[in-house]
Amino acid sequence: MTVPELKTTVVFMKVTVKNVDDAGTMVAVIVGRLDAAGAAEASPLLKPLQSAKTAILDLSQMDYLSSAGVRIFLSLHKSLQSRGLRLILAAPQHYCTEVIRISGLAEVFQIHGTVNEALEDAQPVPNAAELSCGKFTFHPGESEPTAVEVLGNVEDVLHSRINAGLLRSKRFSSKEYSIGLGALGSSDKDVLNHLGEMMTIGGTMVWLPTDGNDTPDYLVPKQDSAEVVIRTGFNVSLAGRFNEYVEFEATAPGGATLFEIYRALFDLARQRRGDFRGALGLAMRAEMGEVYGSGVVRSPIDTNAPANGKSITDVSNFASWFEFDEKPRHKDVTGLICGVGLDLDADLSCFDRDRLGATFYLNPANAPSSRGMLHNHGVFFTPQALGEKPLMLEREIARVVELGDFVDMRHMLDRTTIVWALIGICYIQEFRADPAVIKAGETAP
């Protein structure tokens, strides 16, 4: 195939735009200074990129970038993104990289170190795959990097070390998708003895108080409050928008296990995604086959710590500290799920080791695996019909929260089965400390 090439020389720079393949990838090479004057010249020359499925800006020969140039890039990014298309910046020189960084847009733009890396990333990836556990159909999401933000440390939960000094308060709006240990109440003192498994999803906080009643509580606020806040001693949240959406349909009538789905997504990510580093963050709207749950039955605060000095998951303490299902707790319910997973087949050295240790733990009620480690919570409703097509995860979650009849909430064991699911995936780039933490006793801003 002969591809057309467009070359135009301007006073301040040279811009070359060309098609590079049959998949709709176009590359624009910018040479010179993209200052205010150069930006005015370059803007019309970059218009052909509007017809690209993936537009790559080769910045290897651009030695100056001003805010006017950044605005051109941002405008092009937004225009392409609104139509499900992509902009990639390739090989920016150090000064230009710093301009993008201090402009606060380093996480908005997708940036590769070389043009070849950008071209490889631009290659179309399969949008469907059938594995033994089921069929996966992929749809594009956002290109911005995503992260897991960790508040506290799961080791403080496992060793029953939580106290008022470790509690933090979070506004509902700050924790769209998260799991951990928490409670609702008027003060830290009020909640300490009732802290339990918790999650936030669809603007809702759901938690399982450790008050002996084994009955979840939840709140669906219509607006934020400085007084009614999430109080938590440990929280793991997804930061950033979903990079991809997946529709999953299980092969077996009874569904595939949660572990099988994660394992399949790990394997597919390795084949399909250049940004897969070994960790996924997920949110799901799912039709459940069988639900196996688990959860602490005592608040893991320092005054409740086991007398033998061992962790609450130690074999000597586990049965008195946790309830866990050996038979399905629920069948054929609609579930909203949030969680994170590690591919233990991957090289995880790119992640902060302490943050990983603060996020994951081995639940003795799960079968140990050398291939993955998961941490997921779910809230369950009576079966709900799907909404109008095209299906959108956020809209489906909101519909279930608004219209569903609440059934239960649990930490989910890996053998829980799922028949069908609409899944949002974050291809996690880092595990980091939660930056928006309110200290104990302070009021949420």
Bridge partners (DSSP) of residue 247 are 137, 422
Closest C-alpha to 397, from 316, 338, 319: 338
- The pTM (predicted TM-score) of the whole model is 0.74
pLDDT category, 352, cuts 50, 70, 90? very high
Instruction: Return the pLDDT at 401.
Output: 93
pLDDT digits (tens, 9 = 90+) for 16-45: 999 988 778 999 999 999 999 888 888 999
pLDDT digits (tens, 9 = 90+) for 371-407: 999 999 999 999 999 988 888 999 999 999 999 999 9
- Cα distance between residue 349 and residue 353, in whole Å: 7
Instruction: Return the pLDDT at 224.
Output: 73
pLDDT digits (tens, 9 = 90+) for 417-439: 999 999 999 999 999 999 865 44
Q: Which residue has the higher pLDDT, 2 or 136?
A: 136
What SS3 state is found at 170? Answer: strand
Is residue 363's pLDDT more than 90?
yes
- Cα distance between residue 355 and residue 234, in whole Å: 12
Mean pLDDT, the chain, whole residue set: 91
Amino acid at 229: V
Q: Which residue has the higher pLDDT, 106 or 282?
A: 282
Bridge partners (DSSP) of residue 381 are 334, 406
Angle among Cα 361, 433, 180 to the nearest 5 degrees reads 45
Is residue 8's pLDDT more than 50?
no
Is residue 332's pLDDT more than 80?
yes
Bridge partners (DSSP) of residue 239 are 147
| Buried-state track 10-45, b at ≥16 Cβ within 10 A, e below 16 | bebbebbbebbbeeebbbbbbbbbbbeebbebbbeb
Q: Which domains does the chain have, with CATH numbers?
A: 5-122 (3.30.750.24), 125-445 (no CATH)
Is residue 445's pLDDT more than 50?
no
pLDDT digits (tens, 9 = 90+) for 48-79: 999 998 999 999 999 999 999 999 999 999 88
pLDDT category, 11, cuts 50, 70, 90? very low
- Percent of the chain past pLDDT 90, that is, above it, reads 73
